[in-house]
């Protein structure tokens, strides 16, 4: 009796305070929501954003697959028969690809999907924009996981809008520099020993020099020689002059410097041959020559010609760069070449040079042709991702080397910071007297 009456009285008193608490919680959440979301983005996403997004995926999966042509009708003949003979019974639902668990990540979610017979991963790549619209997420990336299975990764917001990753401190591994953050939240590491030569393209003010700043700031504390070729009169690279073993600021100097670099490479080849090793890493530590990283800012300045005399210079520069790219990797000479446009309109040597620069970084581009030149015949969605970069996202780029591609954003290393780092490590600058080629 007592129990019954106490339950009844509790039942009548609960709604009042529960309502008040709920109202306070909801209004508190509404008021503090934006600040909490900014402060604890991962917790916010896991507690609130992800459950809603996962619900959307479950709700929209079947119509989405059907709408994108990824559903397969079951036994079409039977469907007709069931429609005719089945007294109006609904025809069987089409089969949709089987979806695995939706797993949250720190800023999105991933799921694996088993392909139906006759489907290829490209069918899902084409459906990615529709998925991001339906699930109301920033972007969806589809990659082939293993035969018959694709991996769908969605990011709720653009993780590159404000990358949180710390900048590199100290020297780190030789020829390896953390220059920014990848879309996955991991560090963007430029590893010259793995991919020795890089091509960096992008329209004006898209972030090419900022990426070079990050690279130089990372390499400066390492035992490497840095060589600059900046035919914009040295406006970009002269900042690091104290840490550069050589700097060419016009084409005439550049041609002589490149010829000297080719000679240096050939000398190293002789040393390696005499020691019967295939590259400088096979030499004993004491005999190993210092790695040289050659940075070219604005390739077009080297190649564009107005007169006959300039044409010969441009050709000589082009040939020397191609030879460096061909021989350099094994002999410790690495190329990082930046340019706004790197097309065959610059001259015949450019296409051959481009083919030798295996690492590609494509920032915002002014025309689709440049993105195509940089990213080649990679996934068509890599081209789309490069073309979607806006001027506000300076420093954002699509990276490609070997298989696959990813989006990334460089650390914003200002000119002043790069200048300070170069001055701090000026004492580490190796003296390469064979590269001293200033005009007499």
Ligand X SMILES: Nc1ncnc2c1ncn2[C@@H]1O[C@H](COP(=O)(O)OP(=O)(O)OP(=O)(O)O)[C@@H](O)[C@H]1O
Site for ligand X, rule CB under 6 A: 202, 204-210, 340, 394-395, 409-410, 412
Q: Which residue is nearest to ligand X (CB)?
A: 395
**Side-chain half-sphere of 233: how many Cα atoms within 13 Å?**
1
User: Among Mg ion, ligand X, none, what does residue 340 contact (CB within 5–8 Å per kind)?
Assistant: ligand X
Stretch that binds Mg ion, among 154-162, 202-210, 328-336, 411-419 (CB under 5 A): 202-210
Residue 164 or 204: the one with the smaller Cβ distance to ligand X is: 204
196's contact among Mg ion, ligand X, none, with CB below 5 to 8 A by partner kind, is none
Stretch that binds Mg ion, among 64-72, 171-179, 205-213, 368-376 (CB under 5 A): 205-213
> Does the footprint of Mg ion cover residue 206 (CB under 5 A)?
no
| Shortest-Cβ-distance residue relative to Mg ion | 209
Q: Which stretch binds Mg ion (CB under 5 A): 68-76, 175-183, 207-215, 311-319?
A: 207-215
In the complex, the smallest distance separating the C-beta of residue 397 from ligand X, rounded to whole angstroms, is 9
Residue 169 backbone phi and psi in degrees, to 5? -120, 140
Which CB, 393 or 401, lies closer to ligand X? 393
Can you tell me whether residue 132 is helix, strand or coil? Answer: helix
Q: Nearer Cβ to ligand X, position 320 or 399?
A: 399
360 labeled binding residue: no
Burial 159-190 (b: 16+ CB within 10 A, else e): bbeebeeeebeebeeebbbbbbbbbbbebbbb
- Closest approach, Cβ 258 to ligand X, in A, equals 21
Q: Does 209 bind Mg ion (CB under 5 A)?
A: yes
User: If DSSP codes are grouped into helix, strand and coil, which group holds residue 222?
Assistant: coil
User: What residues pair up with 62 in beta bridges, in sequence order?
Assistant: none
For residue 69, give the nearest of 30, 36, 116 by alpha carbon.
Answer: 116
From the list 115, 188, 199, 187, the residue with the least C-alpha distance to 151 is 115
Element (H, E) at 89: none
* Residue 156 vs 408, nearer CB to ligand X: 408
Q: Which residues contact 203 (CB under 8 A, 6 or more apart)?
A: 340, 363, 364, 365, 366, 370
The maximal CA–CA distance of the chain, rounded, in angstroms, is: 110
204 is in an annotated binding site: yes
Task: Please report which helix (H) or strand (E) contains residue 58, including its range.
Answer: helix 50-67
The interface partner of residue 249, options being Mg ion, ligand X, none and the CB cut-off 5 to 8 Å by kind, is none
366 phi, psi to nearest 5 deg: -85, -25
Sign of the CA dihedral with 95 first, then 96, 100, and 103 last: negative
Report, in Å, the least distance between residue 101 CB and ligand X.
35
Out of ligand X, Mg ion, none, what residue 409 binds, judged by CB under 5 to 8 A for its kind, is ligand X
The CA-CA-CA angle for residues 359, 180, 40, to 5°, reads 140
Q: What are phi and psi of 238, to 5 degrees?
A: -65, -15
Q: Does 379 bind Mg ion (CB under 5 A)?
A: no
Residue with tokens 């896991």: 46
C-beta of 216: minimal distance to Mg ion in Å?
13
Measured from the CB atom, is 209 or 249 closer to ligand X?
209
In the complex with ligand X, which residue's Cβ is closer, 122 or 158?
158
105 marked as part of a ligand binding site: no
In the complex, least distance from residue 16 CB atom to ligand X, rounded to whole angstroms: 53
Sign for the pseudo-dihedral over CA of 414, 417, 423, 424 = negative
Query: Could you give the CA distance from residue 196 to residue 84 in angstroms, rounded to a whole number?
Result: 67
Q: Is 278 labelled as part of a ligand binding site? A: no
Is residue 103 a known part of a binding site?
A: no
3-state secondary structure of 196: coil
Say how far residue 165 (Cα) sits from the centre of its chain.
Answer: 14
Q: Whose Cβ is closer to Mg ion: residue 125's or residue 217's?
A: 217
**Helices and strands in the chain, H and E counts:** 13, 15
The site partner of 164 among ligand X, Mg ion, none (C-beta below 5 to 8 Å per kind) is: none
Question: Per CB under 5 A, which region of 28-36, 181-189, 203-211, 277-285 contacts Mg ion?
Answer: 203-211
> Was 208 annotated as part of a binding site?
yes
Per-residue DSSP letter, 113: E
Q: Select 209 or 379, whichever has its Cβ closest to Mg ion.
A: 209
The separation between CA 115 and the C-alpha centre of its own chain, rounded to angstroms, equals 28
Q: How far is the CB of 236 from Mg ion (least distance, A)?
A: 5
CB of 298 to ligand X, least distance (A): 7
Q: Looking at beta carbons only, is 38 or 205 nearer to ligand X?
A: 205
Q: Give the interface with Mg ion as residue ranges (CB under 5 A).
A: 208-209
Q: Which segments are annotated as binding site for ATP?
A: 202-209
Binding residues, as ranges, are 202-209
């Amino acid at each position: 009796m007592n129990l019954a009456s106490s339950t009844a009285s509790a039942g009548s008193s609960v709604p009042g305070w529960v309502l008040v608490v709920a109202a306070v919680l909801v209004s508190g959440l509404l008021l503090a929501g934006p600040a909490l979301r900014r402060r604890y983005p991962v917790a916010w996403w896991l507690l609130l954003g992800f459950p809603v997004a996962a619900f959307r995926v479950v709700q929209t999966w079947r119509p989405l697959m059907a709408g994108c042509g990824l559903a397969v009708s079951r036994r079409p003949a039977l469907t007709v028969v069931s429609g005719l003979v089945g007294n109006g019974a609904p025809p069987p639902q089409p089969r949709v690809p089987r979806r695995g668990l939706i797993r949250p990540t720190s800023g999105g979610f991933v799921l694996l999907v088993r392909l139906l017979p006759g489907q290829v991963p490209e069918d899902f790549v084409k459906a990615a924009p529709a998925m991001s619209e339906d699930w109301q997420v920033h972007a969806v990336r589809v990659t082939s996981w293993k035969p018959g299975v694709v991996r769908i990764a969605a990011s709720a917001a653009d993780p590159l809008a404000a990358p949180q990753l710390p900048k590199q401190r100290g020297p780190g591994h030789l020829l390896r520099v953390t220059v920014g953050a990848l879309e996955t939240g991991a560090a963007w590491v430029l590893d010259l020993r793995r991919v020795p030569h890089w091509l960096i393209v992008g329209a004006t003010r898209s972030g090419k020099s900022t990426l070079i700043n990050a690279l130089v700031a990372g390499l400066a504390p390492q035992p490497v020689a840095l060589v600059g070729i900046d035919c914009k009169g040295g406006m970009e690279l002269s900042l690091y002059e104290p840490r550069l073993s050589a700097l060419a600021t016009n084409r005439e100097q550049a041609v002589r410097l490149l010829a000297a670099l080719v000679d240096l490479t050939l000398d190293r080849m002789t040393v390696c041959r005499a020691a019967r090793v295939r590259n400088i890493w096979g030499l004993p530590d004491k005999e190993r020559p210092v790695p040289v990283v050659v940075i070219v800012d604005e390739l077009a300045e080297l190649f564009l010609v107005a007169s006959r005399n300039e044409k010969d210079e441009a050709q000589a520069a082009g040939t020397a760069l191609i030879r460096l790219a061909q021989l350099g990797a094994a002999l410790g000479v690495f190329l990082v070449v930046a340019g706004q446009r790197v097309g065959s309109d610059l001259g015949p040597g450019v296409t051959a040079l481009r083919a030798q620069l295996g690492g590609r970084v494509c920032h915002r581009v002014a025309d689709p042709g440049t993105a195509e030149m940089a990213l080649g015949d990679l996934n068509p969605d890599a081209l789309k991702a490069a073309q979607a970069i806006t001027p506000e996202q300076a420093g954002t780029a699509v990276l490609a080397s070997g298989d696959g591609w990813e989006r990334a954003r460089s650390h914003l290393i200002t000119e002043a910071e790069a200048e300070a780092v170069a001055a701090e490590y000026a004492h580490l600058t190796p003296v390469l007297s064979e590269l001293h080629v200033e005009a007499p």
